[in-house]
Homo-oligomer: A and B are copies of this chain.
Amino acid sequence: MQTIEFWFDFSSAYGYFASLEIDSLARRCGRTVQWRPFMLGTAFRKTGVKGLSSTPLKGDYARRDWSRIARRHGYAFALPPFHPIVALPCSRAFYWIEERHPDAAAEYAKRVFHAHYVANLDLRINDAAAAVAEQLHGVDAVALREALDRQETKEKFAAISDSAVERGIFGSPFFLVDGEPFWGWDRMAQMEDWIRTGGW
């Protein structure tokens, strides 16, 4: 089955909203989803863009927008008081899990988003990233916690982020469908239209 590449940063609220919608979109289109966390900060270094929350005017707009999106769709949403963060630990954990338990990776990502945007878990902390993995069947959270301190775990994720940006991925969420890029939660309908019609 053909796939949708779903790139996101765990600290991105629009990424969180997309994570709540991508599965049903993919199901409607007969596609699988490839979950792909990366570091938005890596893209920012290339684009020279700052994060939404640290951009005057845009930051205020985004906060208002996140709340109204959550209200409209009935999504649980509590912006962590320490937002935005550099979500390295859980992103590294994601790829460690994916390598060992490919079927558990998407579930881990969903639980991380939930833990952060509903329970306000601090994703900057290695212990927090490992704690979320404890909920997953068959994943050795202790081994994961140890791996998070290892250089190879860090380098693997850094390489994935670098290569994403090399491919032109610069925002969260960002989708690739048969090579066609779609940027933003608000472009998911356009992407679905593209898939269903075969492009235009």
Q: How far is the CA of A2 from the CA of B181 in the complex (A)?
A: 38
Q: Is A24 an interface residue (CB 8 A)?
A: no
Q: Which residues in window 56-76 of A have CB below 8 A to B?
A: 56-58, 60-61, 64-65, 68, 71-72
How many whole Å from A91's CB to the nearest CB in chain B?
Answer: 20
Interface range for A: 20 to 34
Are A55 and B48 closer than 8 Å at their CB atoms? yes
- Contact partners of A58 in chain B: CB under 8 A: 47, 49, 170-171
Chain A residues in the interface with B (C-beta under 8 A)? 43, 46-50, 55-58, 60-61, 64-65, 68, 71-72, 165, 168-171, 181, 183-184, 186-187, 189-190, 193, 200
Copies of chain A in the complex: 2
Are B49 and A168 closer than 8 Å at their CB atoms? no
Are A200 and B57 closer than 8 Å at their CB atoms? no
Minimum-distance CB pairs A-B, first 9: A57-B170, A186-B186, A47-B56, A72-B200, A71-B200, A47-B57, A47-B55, A57-B168, A46-B56
- Contact partners of A46 in chain B: CB under 8 A: 56-57
Also in contact, A183 and B61, with CB within 8 A (given A48-B50, A50-B48, A200-B68):
yes
Also in contact, A48 and B56, with CB within 8 A (given A168-B61, A184-B186, A186-B187):
yes
